[in-house]
Structure 1
Amino acid sequence: MPIFIDRRLNPKDKNLGNRQRFLRRAREELKRSIRDQIRTGRIADVDSGHAVPMPHRGTGEPTFSDARDSGRRQHILPGNRTFIPGDLVPKPGQGGAGSSSPGNTASEDDFRFVLSREEVLDLFFEDLELPDLVKLNLKQILAFKPRRAGFAATGSPTNINVGRTMRNSHARRIALGRPKQPELDAILLQLAKLESTPPDAATRESILTLREELKRLERRRKRIAYVDPVDIRFNRFDPQPVPNASAVMFCLMDVSGSMGEREKDLAKRFFVLLHLFLTRRYERTEIVFIRHTHEAQEVDEETFFYCTQSGGTVVSTALEEMQRIIEQRYPATEWNIYAAQASDGDNFATDSQRCIELLHGKLMRLCQYFAYVEIIDERESHIFGSTENGTSLWRAYSAVEQKWPNFQMRRIAAPADIYPVFRQLFARQPAMAKSA
């Protein structure tokens, strides 16, 4: 029985399986290089293109070649005055006549991939996914909007396309030879002239002939309608699914005196990264900035990050302001609500319990996800980085984290910690059980 092998998709002298394995290896190398570059570079550079070097090792495709130490071969090398039979000809780069100096040898990184902004972000966010990204009702119910999709032979009378209908009618009348009105008018004019002249045998015969022709043309005009149902065309509209998932991101930050420029800079980088992540998954994303000391207020981005304010620290005021804004502008039935809070952990002594009440009471039921990032001193990272000990706010939020799976909290001490923490917060997770 004959065996057919389909190689139509294979390029010349290439094997498709090997080629796909090479692309998979290259993709993993690209992802690793992007992660290294972003980890060691500035976070703002994530939103730009990158040139990624691709190491030569492991990128070549498997090939078959003759074993030089087996078999018998005879070669005729014209112009040879150096070697005699039995000599081994050295390869370039291995010494001898063909060796090259270290300065002109091929480098380890043979080529580079120049990645655009979108490609960089795709690689970086490939294995990240916000838990419970879109609500269940938004996954099951889609909004549709009509999109022009040509013409149809059936439809609503309000959707008749007059131009296309008349073009079809005109083409059909020409093809079937429907008599035109000027032809009938010409025959009627001739009949009127003949009937006004004295009758004779020839005139009467001409009148009969013209009347028969007039009747034939009128019958044909009636059989071939000016506009036939087969000519009518309607505008066709296909329903196009429209993502109706909208997200709002609340940025909460302490701006009291304990939050210096270093702390604000780290918070801003985390907020920028989270906002960038959300905008790639929702068609519409809004951002709300709430800053607080002993009182909270909604501000613009410039005021949020750069304007100073004096006062104590009462975190619950920011949570209350967030709840008020949600009730006024962002109903949970229409918006996916995300919150990111940055603080150094400082809070009024008796206010942490109030924060727990606000989160347990309503906010965590409204939020898709709540991320709390506590910014600590670099000198304290080896003490508090892997322990549950910390400020009163950290201990209070630990109780919230135990009850609500959509609440996560981490510590940040330096810019290099932001990406690992971000990946921990938003890494793919198994389906989380709903809290009681």
Structure 2
Amino acid sequence: MDTTPARLTAGGALPPGPFEGAGTPAPPVRFPGDGVPGSNALSSMIIVDRRSNPKGKSLANRQRFIRRAKEQILRAVNGASSNRRIKDVESGADISIPTGGISEPTFHRSSQGGIRDHVVPGNKEFMEGDTIAKPPGGQSGGRGTDGSPDGGGEDEFRFVLTREEFMDLFMEDLELPDLAKRKLKAADAVLWQRAGYSVSGSPTNLNLVRTMRNSLSRRIALKRPKSEEMLALEAEIAELEAQPGKDPDRLMELRGLLERQVMRSKRIPYIDPIDVRYNRFTPIPKPAAQAVMFCLMDVSGSMTEHMKDLAKRFFMLLYLFLTRRYKQVEVVFIRHTHEAEEVDEDTFFHSTETGGTMVSTALEEMKRIIKERYPVADWNIYGAQASDGDNTTSDGGRTAALLEHDLLPACQYYAYVEVGSDPDAMPAGFATHARETDLWRTYKQVTGTETPFVMKKVRHRREIYPVFRELFARDGAKQSEEATP
């Protein structure tokens, strides 16, 4: 009895077992297209590379949903940005959008017209052939959502935006350039430091001294003939050839030696690819540094909610920039009318005060806090001021002197934004270019090419980023200098 286990081959035949003799060899395994002229064996193969995708089977569905409901999500992100603290701008968000904004179009039978056959159990009123009256609209018994006196009849769809998704939408609303987005979304700032040599790299990082040293070591180890030795042989051969009684044996010996040295020098190159070395740089976290960000704002009754929203986004953007450069960032809030005081963030944005407007009081408060808590030698100081431009006329000289002589020498950067009403919300034909305000005229005296001071008028969110354009440009130039060996 044959106990050899059966083995199926590609052709489906049963080849003989190992004890049944040689037999007929099994046919080889064939793939689609084998032996067919002009065919490609891999033409039907499809490879999908998903290595760059993050974890999560529903990634494509999530991205498609965000694109479809982008308008509703942007509104929710704007609301979330207005209600969160400045230091929480980088965290994700738990947002809600109306379910009506995420519905997809579907095909269904029209409720108007047409003939339908239904089997209705428990019929006690109608006979075959009777006409059934059409029910009034909204009372067909179908599934729907109940009405509400305040317009909120439908439940909201609630989901969580990740940090990356929230930052993308937040910065898209501000219309930041791509370069600025990449800088702000970077997790940590790094410093490039020399870390030895590498065998590959950019031509600009070629280390010529190390390359020539490796070349010399290799030539000495392999006994590559020196140029001086070959020149001496050529001179000796020429001298022998010029003599009338030349020695042919010696001449043949020298010629053979020169030929061998020339061949050996060709086999052993002067510089080989294995000799080349490049300067290697490795990224390391920037050393721990600290910065303080002063937020100054006029909180008089003339500052509308739109103006405060612009100011808050302006402060958020500066905070994002500072957290990319410094490990520790503190925020100080100073509000003012005719008097100034340091407050917490909630009071800063949501509390209003009545009274006149004297900007110099806020600058004096900032000067006092710097002197008491933030020594210039230990802290990188940044100032951010938002106002509608109102100031007492007699206070202009004092304000300019404080900023120019006391604050700017201590600051790395000081930005002033003059917020105004949204031009898109104004009636048609309404003049959007108002006269220069008192504070604007005062600060114009301080601006200069050598001062770390910039001032801009902001009426819309998209106008906030140009305030920081110079700051981003200077940071990029500084990083380039640090990376240059």
Question: TM-score, normalized by length of structure 1?
Answer: 0.46
